[in-house]
Amino acid sequence: MERNEIMKKSLKTAAALVLAITLTGCGGSSPSSDSSAPKQSSDPIKIGIPDDATNGGRAIKLLETAGLISVDPAAGWVPELKDVTEYIYNIEIVPTQANTLPSTLDDFGASTINGTYAIPIGLIPSRDGLIIENQADATAAGEKNPFINVIVARTADKDNATYAKVVKAFNTDYVAQYVIAKYSEASIPSWPWDPTELSDEEIVDEVDHYTSSPDGKTVVKLGVCGASNDSWKAVQKILDDNGDNIYIELVRFDAYTLPNEALNSGEIDLNSFQHYAYLEKEIESQGYDLTVIGDTNMAPLTLYSRKFESLDALKEAAGKKE
């Protein structure tokens, strides 16, 4: 089955915004029968989660789906630690700055890491994850999936014709196929698409070696986070092929808290690093006058560990709370 068909199937069959699947680890064997598996400890196993409200809430929901905790259902899709009603296993949840979770993975029993930060260090959800958030394009109570990543502009620029061309270039079959080929299940296009005539290998090679020039073009400064932003090279190629005379200049930030501030102040023109839920929280807490002008990809949150080969192994080591 082609990757596009697999992706479409996952988008159509999910019955909730956030579901999860458990995975056997790299070894593929049952940790319970492995004499070398970590033994149960009286100390709680520490689990790192992002310290921002929305991604932290996603992580808490993922740990609930994993069966490690219970959460007050009234908290919705972005609960806080205070909404945890029961620790089923002997774990401690530790909010940590999201961009430091990969480098501190060895310090925790496990950590929930977004694809933005997992991909650059070689983590692959299906191979390395203990449990993966499934962000299928389903709806709950008629609401849009709040974890679709977006392109954001200042509200005053929401109808800017140049920015509309950028959004249109992103939501193409070419960019979608590149995203699937380059990032596999770590990043999924949020719009319907059909494969191009190019093979996956050809499209990745073409985009990765593509270069462009800002000469004679309208420069659009676009804020991003993390290292996995090569899809914008594919967007640039589409813009150039269309003769749109637009050049995307990526402005990289090392923390999620910075791109919205930079956009709101006029330091950059657009940003693309966050999902709907995160933006809404930022607008509410910081008073930013920003708005979504287009959708991009979905990046599932995954629970990773370098100490445990499976979720069952982590549970066995933690032990159930009395």
Are 154 and 292 within one domain? yes
The predicted model scores a pTM of: 0.69
Domain annotation covers residue 2? no
Report pLDDT for 188. Answer: 83
The reply to whether 223 and 268 lie within a common domain is yes
The secondary structure of residue 18, as a DSSP letter, is S
Q: Are residues 154 and 216 in the same domain?
A: yes
Same domain for 32 and 115, yes or no, is: yes
Say if residues 135 and 193 touch (Cβ distance below 8 Å): no
Residue 133 pLDDT = 84
Q: Are residues 229 and 154 in the same domain?
A: yes
pLDDT for residue 139? 42
Q: What span, in angstroms and rounded, lies between the C-alpha atoms of 146 and 140?
A: 10
The pLDDT, as a whole number, for residue 2 is 43
What CA–CA distance (Å, rounded) separates 45 from 40?
10
Torsion angle, CA of 228/186/298/85, rounded to 10 degrees? -120
First to last CA, the chain: 46
Q: pLDDT truncated to tens, each residue of the chain (322 aa)?
A: 444 443 433 333 333 334 444 443 333 333 333 444 456 667 999 999 999 888 899 999 999 999 999 999 999 878 999 999 999 999 999 999 999 999 999 999 999 998 878 878 888 888 899 998 865 534 444 557 788 999 999 999 999 999 999 999 999 999 999 999 998 767 889 888 998 999 999 999 999 999 999 999 999 999 999 878 999 999 999 999 999 999 999 999 998 899 999 999 999 999 999 999 899 999 999 999 999 999 999 888 999 999 999 999 999 999 998 7
CATH of residue 87's domain is: 3.40.190.10
Regarding whether 154 and 28 lie in a shared domain, the answer is no
Instruction: Assess contact for 276 and 151: CB atoms under 8 A.
Output: no
Same domain, 293 and 307: no
Using CA atoms, how far apart are residues 261 and 150, in angstroms rounded to an integer? 16
Question: How far is the CA of 116 from the CAs of 43, 252, 297, 298, in angstroms?
Answer: 31, 13, 11, 10
Specify the number of domains making up the chain.
2
Q: Are residues 153 and 164 in the same domain?
A: yes
Q: Residue 42: its pLDDT value, please?
A: 78
pLDDT at 147: 85
CA-based angle 11:192:245, to the nearest 5?
Answer: 140
Residues of the domain holding 186: 148-298
Q: What is the pLDDT of residue 21?
A: 40
